[in-house]
Structure 1
Amino acid sequence: MTRNGNFKRKVRARAARTGESYTSALSHIRKPKTEPQTGAPAGKSLRLAVAQTTVCLDPRDADAFRANGAEMRLLMRQANEAGARLIHFPEGTICFPSKRLLSESGPREIGAADWSRYQWEVLREELEETRKHAKELKLWTVFGAPHRLTPPHRPHNSLYVISDRGELVTRYDERLLSHTKISFMYSPGRIPVTFEVDGMRFGCAAGIESHYHEIFTEYERLDVDCVLFSTSGEVPSAAPPFGAEVLGVAASNTFWVSYAAHAPQSVIAPCGIAGPKGQWVARCPDDGKPGIAIAEITTDPANLARPWRRNARGDLYRPHQIEGDPRSDSREAF
């Protein structure tokens, strides 16, 4: 009773001194000691949505292009209603063209792509509607689409970044392509791409680039907080390696990774958002249907894992290494 009475007197004394109500004074006195100290660096946060979408494989199917464009904008509205600041879509969101249906000697044989078969004008119309929708919703939008170049150059396999003002901010072109893509379909990109939303820095990757750890360590050196990785595919059995790699690169680089792919793969490996400790924080439905997942991604300036690993990848160990062949100095044998 004495301890309780002393506590109440302390609360009343603060209320009298500051003019606060008893409840307000109580909340200040009960404030946990673990709160950040004044002057400590604050972390950043952003609500991110990742989408899995219907896959269109036929580059000639204008109706499928339009249906996927409408689906994309529906998912944008759902993300906006959930409070998302940015939504991330798969590679080839409107259409991921089949290598066989694009092949000038196809569909039985895979040969040089005939890009005149692709519905470029319909794609342009759908992307313009999507740009307007991003502006209306004030929602950053990242989606996959081919980027046409002047003939005879092949297109890039790209990710477009549209701001909440409906402006094209940047474009990422896949750099490390599959054998078929580089042999018959696309021109490779050359540089990493980053952009910022509300102080959070994002990097972009596409296609099979989760297979290449160097893509992600490069983005770690560029101080990104999250990598948006967009891939594709209609065959569920191809998905598990990508999901495993996403968790691995998130953990080894201590940053967030968003994994966007097409809905058919979700029955084995749903799209999702991986946290810096290599765990799924949010995942889309595993029912093979379009959908979104939402996560509040944050940064923690007090986490020393990332700066330590960056230091370790440098010359940290060189002064401690023994010159010569250490095996020659062995005093004992097993």
Structure 2
Amino acid sequence: MTITIATVQSHISADTRMNGRDIRRLMAEVRAAGARLVHFPEGALSGYVKSEINDWAAVDWAALRDEIEATAACASELGIWVVFGANHPQEPPTWPNNSLYVISDKGSQAGRYDKRLISHAEATSWYAPGTTPFVFEVDGYRFGCALCIEIHFPEIFTEYERLGVDCVLFSAYADDPMFGIEAQAHAAMNNIWLSLSTPATSTSLPCALIGPDGNPYGQLFDQGSGRFVCGKLDRHDPQYDIPLNKARPWRATVRNRTL
């Protein structure tokens, strides 16, 4: 059993409706490339604070709801799962969450991951933190979600390994190549696949699929409207025999020992 996924570098603007159209165009393109699940960057639909958003009062939440619904309808039409970054409103005075929405191939919301470990600037001016990990399953493969500076916290990724996740979908509104180095390290240390999705403006941190051995892989597509990497998750791929069937179970045994 295998699943083909695509990690995307999309254009992100202050116009939520433009972002939605771009997301749906890329959904069709990755579906044509054979993907079953498509993964978008942090803030892909809503825009990101301090970049596209400078004041919560200026946000058109109704437009964002419309675009989420339109994207869900597109997922159902294409028969594809989609994971995208968007702000999630809360009742004032609680600030919004920085979230990843997960939409199933039936067009229903399968869940939402709210970023748990937020920066000092976010905590004091912009976002309320989430509290729990989020895991969902597609075609027998388990996926977890993470956002931006959570890449600096190994406990996020070891937790997902303990929860039996095959692949972590990591979205970042960033252009720091260190994020890519850390992503490869987390994949290699926990023997998991990792999908890294960033904005089209991130020239130093391109989107990537990383195998459970820590090495990037997959086919790059550059469509002009956005670029994406497409690749399979395959537990029976011989090149991943050692990381998946030997290293991962042994490391789990070692971690559970009392030192």
TM-score by length of 1: 0.72
For residue 163 of structure 2, the aligned residue among 222, 231, 239 is: 222
Q: Which runs of 4+ in 1 moved over 3 A?
A: 100-103, 283-289
SS at 1:263 equivalent: coil
- C-alpha spacing 1:225/1:245, structure 2 compared with 1 (3 Å): same
For residue 278 of structure 1, the aligned residue among 189, 198, 214 is: 214
1:195 shift after superposition: 0.4
For residue 101 of structure 2, the aligned residue among 152, 160, 171 is: 160
Matches within 5 A, 1:47-86: 47-56=4-13, 58=14, 64-86=15-37
- C-alpha spacing 1:171/1:100, structure 2 compared with 1 (3 Å): closer
Matches within 5 A, 1:155-234: 155-233=96-174
| Residue identity (%) | 44
Alignment-mate amino acid for residue 78 of structure 1: E
Alignment-mate amino acid for residue 257 of structure 1: L
SS at 2:83 equivalent: strand
Give the match for residue 40 of structure 1: none
Give the match for residue 263 of structure 1: 200
CA distance in 1 between counterparts of 2:220 and 2:60 reads 29
Alignment-mate amino acid for residue 85 of structure 2: G
CA distance in 1 between counterparts of 2:5 and 2:107 reads 18
SS at 1:218 equivalent: helix
Give yes or no for the alignment of 1:303 onto 2:245.
yes
Unaligned runs of 5+ residues in structure 2 are none
CA distance in 1 between counterparts of 2:134 and 2:100 reads 10
Give CA-to-partner distance per residue, 1:241-276, whole Å, 9 cap, x none: 1111110000000010000010111x2221010000
CA distance in 2 between counterparts of 1:46 and 1:278 reads 19
Matches within 5 A, 1:318-329: 318=259
Give yes or no for the alignment of 1:124 onto 2:85.
no
Give the match for residue 27 of structure 1: none
Give CA-to-partner distance per residue, 1:196-233, whole Å, 9 cap, x none: 00110000001211111100000000000000001113
Give CA-to-partner distance per residue, 1:160-205, whole Å, 9 cap, x none: 1100000001110000001111111000000000000011000000
1:292 shift after superposition: 1.4
CA distance in 1 between counterparts of 2:71 and 2:221 reads 24
Q: Determine which structure has more spread, i.e. the larger CA radius of gyration.
A: 1
CA distance in 2 between counterparts of 1:155 and 1:207 reads 16
1:115 shift after superposition: 1.4
Contact conserved, 1:270 with 1:286, CA < 8 A, in 2? no
Matches within 5 A, 1:68-147: 68-99=19-50, 102-103=53-54, 114-147=55-88
Unaligned runs of 5+ residues in structure 1 are 1-43, 59-63, 104-113, 319-334
Alignment-mate amino acid for residue 303 of structure 1: N
Give CA-to-partner distance per residue, 1:279-325, whole Å, 9 cap, x none: 00136568996211100111247721100011111217x4xxxxxxx
Alignment-mate amino acid for residue 195 of structure 2: S
Contact conserved, 1:65 with 1:123, CA < 8 A, in 2? yes
Give the match for residue 18 of structure 1: none
Alignment-mate amino acid for residue 309 of structure 1: R
Equivalent residues, number: 253
SS at 1:93 equivalent: coil
Quick check: which one's strand share is greater? 2
CA distance in 2 between counterparts of 1:180 and 1:285 reads 35
Alignment-mate amino acid for residue 276 of structure 1: P
